[in-house]
Amino acid sequence: MKLKKDKYLLETDILIQHLTMHESEKLSGLEVALTKGVLFTTVLNAAEVKLLELESDNKECVDGILSGIHILGLHFRYAANVDEFYPKTQSVRDSLFCVTAKINKLPILTDNPERYENIGIKVYTTDDLRNL
């Protein structure tokens, strides 16, 4: 029997933390998330991480991380729902991220949960996952 894994929509902060983490015995938030469920992110988040690649020597690492995550595109219908979240978020980018989470029925995984307070979508932190 196949076990059902939880699914999460990753915010960029989780990916950046993994890339900038120095050698440690502690697992990164991304590594913990990978053990707990199936991970998704948006094409915008992937682009943000790819831009970091230009500033670092981690080209292979960035590609390796992104190849292990499902990357969701942004359909034009998402724009029609941005106004549902825009007053509650800090930017159109954050609103699109929330629309993506809602349409795809995914909780958000971020270590900056206050960014998504009062949006009506479940938000987890990597500490939440560590304690599961």
- Going along the chain from its start, the domains and CATH numbers come out as 6-130 (3.40.50.1010)
The 3 state secondary structure assigned to the chain is: CCCCCEEEEECHHHHHHHHHCCCCCCCCHHHHHHHHEEEEEEHHHHHHHHHHHHCCCCHHHHHHHHHCCEEECCCHHHHHHHHHHHHHCCCHHHHHHHHHHHHCCCCEECCCHHHHCCCCCCEECHHHHHCC
* pLDDT tens series, the chain, 132 aa: 455 689 999 999 999 888 887 677 789 999 999 999 999 999 999 999 988 776 666 667 888 889 999 999 999 999 999 999 998 998 999 999 999 999 999 999 999 999 999 999 999 999 999 998
- Identify the CA nearest to 51 among candidates 16, 78, 98: 16
pLDDT for 64 equals 86
What phi and psi, each to the nearest 5 degrees, are found at residue 90? -90, -15
CB hemisphere CA count around 33 (13 angstroms)? 28
Cα 45 to its chain centre, rounded Å, is 7
pLDDT for 62 equals 85
pLDDT for 1 equals 47
